[in-house]
Structure 1
Amino acid sequence: MKTMIRILILSFFSLLLFNSCKEDQPNSPSNIDINYSTNLVDSDNNPIINAIVSINEIDNNNVIAVDTSDENGLITFENLSVSTENLLISISHPLYNTKEFKYGDINDKENGTVTLEDKDDCCGSAELTIKDEDGNTIKDVEVKVRQKMKVLKKGKSDENGTVKFTGLCLEEYEFRLAKDGFKVIEELVNIENCDETLSLNFKMIKTESKEDTCCDGVLIFKPKDKDGNILNGTKIYLYKDGKLIEDPVVENGKAVLDGLCEGKYTIVYKKDGYSNKEAQVEVGCDEEKTLEQTLEKNDDDCCEAILKFIVKDNESKKAIEGAKVTLKLNGKVVLEKKATDKEGEFLAKELCKGKYTVIIEKDGYKTIETTWNIEKCDDFQETFWMNKNDDCCDGVLIFKPKDKDGNILNGTKIYLYKDGKLIEDPVVENGKALLDGLCEGKYTIVYKKDGYSNKEVQVEVGCDEEKTLEHTLEKNNDDCCEAVLKFIVKDKNGKNALKDAKITLKLNGKVIFEKKSTNADGIVIEDGLCKGKYTVIIERDGYETIETTWNIEKCDDFQETFWMNKNDDCCDGVLIFKPKDKDGNILNGTKIYLYKDGKLIEDPVVENGKAVLDGLCEGKYTIVYKKDGYSNKEVQVEVGCHEEKTLEQTLEKNDNDCCEGIVKVKVKDDKGNIIKNASVRLWKGKNKLKELKTNSDGYVEFKELCEGNDYSLSISAEGFEGYEFEFDLGCNKVLNYDKSLKSKDDCCEAILKFIVKDNESKKAIEGAKVTLKLNGKVVLEKKTTDNEGELLAKELCKGKYTVIIEKDGYKTIEITWNIEKCDDFQETFWMKK
């Protein structure tokens, strides 16, 4: 299939070149043929799959060819006919930093290797241990890490049955395990933090069934209209045995589903303006099929009307830029808060017949809400006149909390109240937090920052006034919170380091960190520790638990080795928990408390339909199930030597009258457009209760929530920065939130290398502090140059930067630097004493 894709791509570009050159051009140079192939690998030397590689002409930025790396990380371009070797090769992938280099700089153009570096925010990792039914490790299991059915990473288990993946973003992935003679396993895994490697244990079941091993089938969907044009945006529903398997959307000309088992499938195509189409297809063993179904337009095929909005000020008659236009048809949002341009205009296209509601909003103006009836497919134009309002609601507060030395305290939480009601609760990032759209009046502000005393102040905002608040926060009385403790955990008999020992640290009964895993060297390092008497708890399957104390009396670095003794019990038991409601639905979010001899052993949360605890020793256990809105349930269970049990307890709803709360969330981008399929996670404390995807209107709704004060929501979407906030929920209250996500700038891959030298001696200056600002926002702050006088600033977006360089004994340098394209730059700065 990849060969066919390459042929089509090359044919397409050959046609373009032919058409552009078919007139006589006697002075044009003759073309040359180039070849290029290489293997793409990550920092662990694993192949990089589905990276997009393009070859571009540098002189005119024309795209010569595009291809995708295969499952071995191989990319090959053969016999490309070009007029110049002045070419740029660009490699991009969602998990790695984009890499660009010139074709002429490549030494090995046929058998080379290119290494891509992990993105800084893709810092998660997962290690899988794979065993058979008898507990034996399985070698050479192929493990694929997928997202939206697209393979991102691939690896094989070693002789210990383990395989590790690094460089994972903090998102949800599907892990697919396959090996001949075993049933395929597919499981969703959520990577939630960068502090520790997520350990996953899988048990593969042997099978002699051919059906279970034929699960590498591929379906490629290319629905078209009657003219043969691909219908991007078509929703594909794939069913097997009446069960929905996947529901991808056609993008960039196709939708691809792989990992399909042999058998018969039903496909339903859905596209606005077209009739639904149902088809059947049979997938053979590891077969790949391309389906090019033609969809028919609905009988009422008028969805091509155009409405041109012109928005003006009713008094000055001037155009209004940035007015937000919302259009609804039969209550359904067709477009939402689209902004008018500098001419006050906005064009709404492909509108169907019907009666529309038009809503136009602009700060400082009264909202317009009217109706517009489209009875035929035509072009319409209408001018809307907006009247100014008299409200003073354009105030701005800029928060810059500092420590006693004047350093900005990033991470400070700001709580802004008016009339006793919480208005907003932003977090200080990149040197400030900003709240605009504030009405005239008095506000109360509360600053909260770990290690500092809370501070409450009052401020009055005038009509459309902007104020910058630079309050100083005081450290808590005990200001020594910089101690470092290095734990080393080893086997007492073998003296070898113990990986995956779980360490818990408590201070005055408060958990500082919980069950952090040791690395391959048996080490965990924790910094930022305050003075005090700590409780240290170290646990590992098959070993006796260590519980001791450690006293930190001064801010220093400490190191301690802990020796663990093995126990001789049968400690490979497994309990699988599947709590359900009375209708048999799995209750995700249920907290499981497992006790033995009155001591809490583990407290997992049910996610993706189950919670699993392994490494359990033979004996009797007490289990307590807890779930908001349900009565707690306590049961006893006995685990035999190496026994596995699945527990399907039914929980009863309680009589609490305060468990009917609802939280509704609408997710938009920073331009007011709705975001579909954004992931919204609901948390209570540190436990994830539920995760939903936003619908076509950008909404999710969480129901049956109990009263509480430690809820939070985290929102993420591809192409946008994540967002998280906390909230309290009253008894049976309904909360509505509209949250905007910031778009990630497409070009944020520029690199600027600073070289700082003494103007007289010409020697490099080590320890010069470099600050970089973009539009007044601090991008990096007081980063120091190395012993070569160099500092590398990476992942810079386009824009005009302010560069500030400081060094004791030297005059400060402050200049501007303009980045107009994503490239690598280098500049030498000469400092004068």
Structure 2
Amino acid sequence: MKKVLFSIFVFVFTFLMFSCSESTNQTTEENSISGVLVDEQDIPIPNAIMYLVKVSDGKTKTLVSEEVVAVDTTDEDGNFDFKNLPQTLGSIKVRIIHQDFKIFEDYLLSLLEKQHRNKMRVKMFHNDDCCGKIIIRTIDQDSAVVGNVEVRLNRGRDIIRKIKTNDNGLAVFENVCSGSYWVRIAKEGYQVIEREFNLGNCDTLEFTFVLNRREVDTCCRGVIGIEVKNQNGEILNGSIVKLRKNGELLTTLTIRENQPVFFRELCPGTYSLLILREGYKAVERNVTIECNDSTFVSVQMEVDTCCNSVLRVVVKNGDGQPIPQAKVTIWKSGTKLGYYLTNDDGVVVFRELCNGKYGFDIQKEGYKSIEFNVEIGCNEEKEITKVLQRAESDSCCNGAIKIVVNNGEGQPISQAEVNLWKDNQKIATSSTNNDGFVIFNKLCQGKYVFEVKKEGFKAIEFAVELGCNEEKVVTKVLQRNETDSCCKGVLILKVKDRTTEENVNGARVKMWKNGQVIKDGTVSEGRVVFTNICPGQYGFSILKDTYKSLEFSLTFECNDTLELTKLLEKENQDTCCKGRVVLFVKDSSNNNPLSGVEVRLYQGSQKKAVQTTNENGRVVFENLCRGNYQISMTKSGYQGMEFNFELDCNQTREFEKYLVRKSDTCCTARLKLRIVDDSTGAYIQGARVLVRYNGSNIADPVSNAEGWAVADGLCAPRTYSIRVSAEGYQVREFTITFQECNTIMETVRLRR
């Protein structure tokens, strides 16, 4: 993890106060914290930004000013690590930001009450609209369960979560946001599987993956180690090392904490290493290893003298008018470098670019986004103009079509691929959910063509005429490919309680083939019946609350009729389930009770209860079993809060918590300015950057030896006035607008 320790702005009077008590800001190498960030399921959260903020409190605990003392980003295992912290931690608050989660804030000492400082475990809660669920099962070619399989859930270039299947071959991701995802299924000794899919809002998707064994190669224990240094022999932390073989990217590692990285489990062959570091020339090395070889590579990177290129991007509409506040994002080698917003003239300027190929995308509400590449030469100055086309603003573009797909028996068909065409162009692709339907929204008036495909069924095509803002439901039946007379098999399945042998009515039975649910039934009068079964091997799962789930497989021959009984075992019952929690919620500014606070109680990944505080700010949760719990509190106009606690057998616990009012949508924006000499390009140290809003000084950072001046904790949406000055240089003044809480980076050139 990349560590960045820095001091930034505070109000002037706060700065004076801190300067008079310098000892409170002393740091020590031993004063460190580390741990892992997890979600409601205790799954590590990667790519979350963690801030440690020194807070200056008033008597009412209302925030007066803040100073960010450390920032870290969690790695793919959710790990974080902070070193050299102030000796006094009483005023340090932890703030964590991730786009899928509610903002987390709590005082560090509160988190350390029952935790070791280097074994911390911090829990975040997903946004309320992240309500999807993905269920994955892994089996082998013989339908036997395969456990301990790594399942990586990815969205675009980013890993979202990763877990391993349990002993029953089951992995479940809960609280998943809607979007396009892909999973990677991997276990040593088996072939890797990758699968793309779309998840609708609050949908549940279930997949069964069949893992095929691969021949064990006893020569695949090779190791390549690599260290990256600058020309002074210093380790270059933050360097990215990419490993390829035969042109395929295998994995990417990052140099951290002055330590080399190691690629392991490598088979014989020639591998390509690509080492990247901002401001340095990229390095490529080929390394050949034999059977179970171990080799170590030391790379010295040179400062890139071709890193003073300037690219000016002009963004206009179809009428040739500039588009202000368009978001222009820059990428290189698959890594997002950042983005700027166009000014009133529709212009952004990227400075200090190294030579090479860059990718860009431009987004602006009301316009169609575009992507393009630009090749930059050594210290070249270039200008390009891009035109954004307006998105269709037709008032007749709010139509919707719901496609329902059933089989010949009227049962829904899940995961059928549905392609949508208009004017001979494919405009969308999606898949039916477990209820056999998919919805296409924001459709304009006109004629659409649909194609529906599903393995084992005949594909169909049909057209739908949609009127202005019309909503239509179309039901289609897919016919099976099998035309022979061997598809009349029958399964009569009885489900009983193992102890009492009573019928377990209401149990849900799913029938699987090739990773897809093909039939779904509910036990009634002790049985469920599936008909029209073709020859082949099928998997089955039985689910029922308070019972352990059961999975098994069956093979059907031509027109077989099978009748069998399955026994379900009750989950262990806990006699320590009379626990009680009483919570009082108050306003931190006046100590008054807060009514209308939504309080959610979680145990592990399961939401146990939701209540709202009464006029006394009180809620009570009863009949709780012993264990570890989490409470999440939200109220409009206040910052949310979460905390963890442990409940013993039939224990009663009382808590009093305070919510802090919030005055802005968010106040976690970051401004990063690099101050340079306009004629030489040299960094200017000691330049003063004054950030003002409504006539008040908000921040007053000073540039460091690399020319960087950083202001954190800015609010959005908001426009700030910026004044940059340095001894011997002309003053520059300009404005910067934050539309959202993000990081804006600019290079400011001062003239003498």
TM-score, normalised on structure 2?
A: 0.42
Which structure ranks higher in relative contact order (CA pairs < 8 Å, sequence separation ≥ 6)?
2
